[in-house]
């Protein structure tokens, strides 16, 4: 009864019939490849699978970008009440993370801090390593007054020399220094620049005073492509800068692939003396290899098929072939292979592998064949 239950269990979950077919008929069917591994022939088969392959293409939406970083004293304040980091520290982190994620699409880039205006990375082809060094070169402690109008005026020659579309990221809290009084309002300046050049302003602002908030909003209204992004939202969603510089187009396609998949393994036959089911010592080493393989491959199981030569009655040989299969199974269990991973079957004198009219042929037919299958 145990034998039948074991076989039914294997047939439900794995290709037991396939393994047994290979053992009984000694065949490797078309599409199967056998490779030698220790005492086994590992049998693989071509498995046709369909996979959905997703591809991402980056679509460039700007040719150049410029970062204007406010390094005035007000940027030294905490960016949030529950944070120990300053606005400037968080802004630098945003830049570093965004620059690392930026695909190589052939941008020109520039980085300026103000106040006063200082070029940390003059406009030129983007070298990500050097640009990261420039970000780290932004002064650690924000200090001094805000000269945003002057920084915007200094920006005009850069825009004049730029080719294509330019995105300007302005990191500022909108605080306006009295020293800047008499100069144009920042919103007027960005509107003027937007009317003369192909430029969009992304204003990343964190203003608490009404006048400062209005100043940031005015800069973000310079043209249709400009916008205001609250500082906290930009921290939580740094992908806001992605739409400014590139878009991601995702396409999916079903591909049919041919993979080589393990279908089973076939071991060397275990031979027995005439009329005996006693395991011969010279086959211990091979069975040790079988046990080791099963232990190393926990999704595998072993099929043992017992056979006899043609001498004797059908009933006697059927019983003898069963005892031979059980003898090999007992050895494997003693080598710590679980009984639930051992399938035993017996066939008496059926399916001889050699000529039963000769002594050598009968010797080769007194055997247990070993097949290894894999749970799917």
pLDDT at 220: 92
Is the alpha carbon torsion for 70, 76, 82, 84 positive or negative? Answer: positive
What pLDDT shows up at residue 27?
Answer: 40
27 & 64 share domain: no
- Which pLDDT score is estimated for 160? 95
User: Are 372 and 293 contacting, i.e. CB atoms less than 8 angstroms apart?
Assistant: yes
Establish if 257 belongs to a structural domain.
Answer: no
47 part of a folded domain: no
Whether 6 and 111 map to the same domain: the answer is no
Q: What is the CATH number of the domain that holds 314?
A: 3.30.1330.60
CB 64 within 8 A of CB 164: yes
Give the list of residues 6+ apart from residue 228 with CB closer than 8 angstroms, or none: 203, 205, 216, 217, 219, 220
CB–CB of 174/208 below 8 Å?
no
46 occurs within a structural domain = no
Query: What integer pLDDT is reported at residue 104 of this predicted model?
Result: 92
Q: Identify whether 255 is part of a domain.
A: no
Q: Is residue 162 part of a domain?
A: yes
What spatial distance separates the first Cα and last Cα of the chain, rounded to whole Å? 25
What pLDDT shows up at residue 83? 74
Same domain, 246 and 273: no
- Please, what sign has the CA dihedral across residues 17, 19, 23, 26? positive
| pLDDT tens over the chain, length 376 residues | 333 323 333 333 334 544 454 454 444 333 333 333 345 666 666 667 777 888 888 989 999 999 999 988 878 777 666 678 888 888 888 888 888 888 999 999 999 998 778 899 999 999 999 999 999 999 877 666 777 888 899 999 999 999 999 999 998 888 766 544 556 789 999 999 999 999 999 998 877 788 888 989 999 999 999 999 887 777 666 555 557 898 888 888 887 777 666 666 777 899 999 999 999 999 999 999 999 989 988 888 899 999 999 999 999 999 999 999 999 999 999 999 999 999 999 999 998 999 999 999 999 999 999 988 877 6
Neighbouring C-alpha atoms within 13 Å toward the C-beta of 374: 14
The whole-number pLDDT of residue 176 equals: 67
Q: How many domains does the chain have?
A: 2
Question: Do 102 and 199 have their domain in common?
Answer: yes
Domain that holds residue 186: 57-250
Q: Are residues 303 and 217 in the same domain?
A: no
Are 121 and 194 in a shared domain? Answer: yes
- For residues 338 and 240, what is the distance between their CA atoms, to the nearest angstrom? 57
pLDDT at 193: 96
- Which CATH number characterizes residue 183's domain? 3.40.50.410
| pTM, 2 dp | 0.56
Residues 75 and 176 in one domain: yes
Say if residue 161 is in the same domain as residue 300: no
């Amino acid at each position: 009864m145990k034998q039948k239950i074991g076989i039914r269990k294997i047939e439900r979950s794995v290709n037991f019939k396939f393994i047994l077919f290979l053992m009984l008929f000694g065949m490797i069917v078309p599409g199967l490849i056998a490779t030698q591994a220790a005492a086994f022939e590992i049998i693989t088969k071509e498995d046709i699978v369909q996979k959905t392959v997703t591809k991402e293409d980056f679509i460039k939406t700007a040719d150049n970008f410029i970062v204007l970083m406010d390094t005035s004293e007000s940027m030294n304040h905490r960016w949030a009440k529950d944070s120990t980091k300053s606005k400037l520290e968080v802004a630098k982190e945003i830049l570093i993370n965004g620059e690392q994620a930026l695909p190589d699409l052939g941008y020109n880039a520039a980085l300026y801090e103000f106040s006063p205006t200082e070029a940390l990375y003059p406009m030129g082809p983007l070298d990500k390593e050097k640009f990261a060094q420039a970000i780290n070169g932004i002064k650690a402690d924000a200090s001094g007054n805000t000269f945003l109008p002057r920084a915007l005026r200094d920006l005009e020659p850069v825009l004049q020399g730029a080719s294509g579309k330019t995105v300007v990221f302005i990191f500022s809290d909108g605080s306006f220094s009295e020293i800047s009084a008499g100069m144009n309002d920042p919103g007027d300046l960005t509107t003027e620049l937007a009317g003369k050049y192909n430029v969009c302003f992304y204003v990343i602002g964190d203003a608490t005073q009404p006048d400062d908030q209005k100043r940031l909003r005015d800069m973000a209204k310079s043209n249709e492509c400009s916008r205001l992004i609250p500082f906290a939202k930009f921290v939580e969603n740094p992908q806001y800068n992605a739409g400014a510089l590139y878009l991601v187009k995702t396409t999916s396609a079903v591909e049919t692939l041919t993979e080589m998949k393990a279908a089973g393994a076939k071991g060397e036959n275990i031979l027995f003396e005439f009329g005996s089911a006693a395991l011969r010592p010279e086959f211990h080493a091979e069975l040790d290899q079988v046990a080791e393989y099963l232990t190393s491959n926990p999704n595998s199981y072993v099929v043992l098929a017992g056979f006899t030569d043609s001498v004797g009655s059908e009933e006697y040989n059927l019983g003898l072939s069963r005892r031979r299969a059980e003898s090999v199974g007992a050895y494997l269990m003693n080598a710590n292979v679980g009984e639930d991973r051992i399938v035993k079957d017996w066939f008496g004198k059926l399916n001889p592998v050699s000529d039963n009219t000769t002594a050598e042929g009968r010797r080769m037919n007194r055997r247990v064949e070993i097949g290894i299958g894999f749970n799917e």
